[in-house]
A and B are shown apart, each in its own frame.
Chain A
């Protein structure tokens, strides 16, 4: 432990923290510090994953450290006074403490942080701090002990690490193919396109610990014999791009990147960042390569796999951000230490992004094999507003919905696949009883249909036809054979598409059909939406007992469908009603009923 000469205040400045107001809190702290009345050291870090409590501020002093949540700019002065000057701990806002009373928030209990080891703990813009936390130790030891590339690959193989970008292909095996490919010029690519809407672990890693990703790529480069690395990062992540570029410049200045790294070795490696231009399909490896080359990001047939012919037709190894971030830890701590976590076929840990109707939304890293229920209820704190857990969507647009009944499914590649969903990148969107599963399936299909590159007929037109059917169903115009049609189309698309986008696009429909068929039937046959989401299927009426005749609904109705005199029961004219729900929202007496 380092010795503190004065209290240190650390603000979490990840994109999510900043969106919640952390930059303003930081500015306020700078002003307080400049005023000189309270003496403390001010620094910044990135996101620890506890997004639901942002902005987060940690205070370290001789008593230990406390992490405070909801630290908006208007609150920080008081907290500082009470904590630093009056030596109090403000229980009300303390979300996690250490050495004070030893209690850790349940959110961190049960987590094993390997990929996220430094996220939220170091200043991501300081190489010095990163180096205090093992940065560049792994590559340095490989180079100084002259460990052979075959040995490094063997270590990665033994760790059991599988690609975290979705496919789950054994990373060591992929490296071996690329290492065995002939060629004097080879490339390493980091896939930071993170297209799954609802997943943000890659962003958080890049913003929180960019050096870990750079070092992972260097080790990969050494192993396969590449001297150039490209990070393909989506343009929607400006802070990640900025911090990556800072980290690259720092590493170059110190001679960790460039010609003969560390000044002596005969290994040279350079990394640059390529900004994506907004296309989900560019997460697919061959499309990503086409995009780096400046073309439309259309996938191509494999083989040849990138290991044989990738970027500029040279052997290329492409891995996901989280995969890369695990590598230095595996080298430093050994394959066995990594493989000690997880299940037989899914080793190690996985980062999940908890979002949707969950109480504690954020990022968690857990050993593979713990159950969905453990993640949602133990770490995630359960469902918002005391509602009922209905389903969780895993794997984004390529994945599927796992119903609450299967909450005991362990999260490992094979168990998740068996449900019809996929592990994907680790986005977990939690849904409660107010989510309509048909609406959700329609949402995903709209997304994939929009993002299809258009090369394959079934992916381009088949998804459009499926979307049209779903639109009809949610408008109350479903026909008895629609379910049959959806299933036929789904299998045709799966079997006749070139890339993963088309092959998996029907998954959300197939899994909701499998687990929530009754909801489809309610929409089609009874013309009802059980979750009360699909507006055209809703029926609004006014409860005569509760209506006070206040006239608010009649005034708000955009189509004048509500009649009634002041202090008289109001009535909705169903022939005119457009089911906008305005009356339901504005009624203070809960007199508007919807079914």
Chain B
């Protein structure tokens, strides 16, 4: 029996399917919410990963996206605001063999949970972080979030937000994240591919997913998915391929020193274009800064795909290694020896 096989009631082994991952709970997201697409893509790819269903755990914090675990027929915990990352760290440290997925939002991960988020990245636990970024607080009904653009008019900012927003990918790169990617709810194929790669990466895989909040911030990212604008506004990253975008793939990015410039691909030699290398941290940090307001003239397109990945030791492996080392050096702990300590004396 292979690892993704379930035993049906008739005793026959069956392959796990997307349907097996659906729970009996009624899904309560608003109609048109981007979360529907994201859960669908997750349920599509998880059965292909070769992980036994019972070894999968989804942990979330608080927010609309954090309802996610209730709808996944795996182990799951819907925790408290901002702490999914911290809970998942303990879970993974204790049981490295589990496949741990963190579902969080822009408020959950970057505001109230910001501290745990950066520390998770530096420790590099082998977990997947899916950050549903909708640039708004949905569950509390429409306040600006740490990713809302400056000037955003929301319930709590009637005169426009005066907060400078976070750039989540630059932040995670700064925190020494080892897998940094962006995708979106409205590009299912791309999202599936990124999720597969996130799972394959050994270490903390951070995936920012642009997610439409149809109620409080509808259309915030449509510019990256609508037919009319998509080609001009998005830059789909592929390792080893040049950075090309535009209506007919006519535009490219060239590095002028450390400065990215948009060029007409027909006017430069192919060798002059920036070739995406997802192991290059310096270039990745420039890529994360492709973060212009699309309303700005001559703005750079927004990149999607894997910005950066690196193989670095995982916290849980190092922790297990120290335990093994201690056992091989000192032998399995002997409780009586421990309790009696170094020096004892007898009283008759």
Do A and B share a complex? no
Residues of B within 8 A of A (CB): none
Residues of A within 8 A of B (CB): none
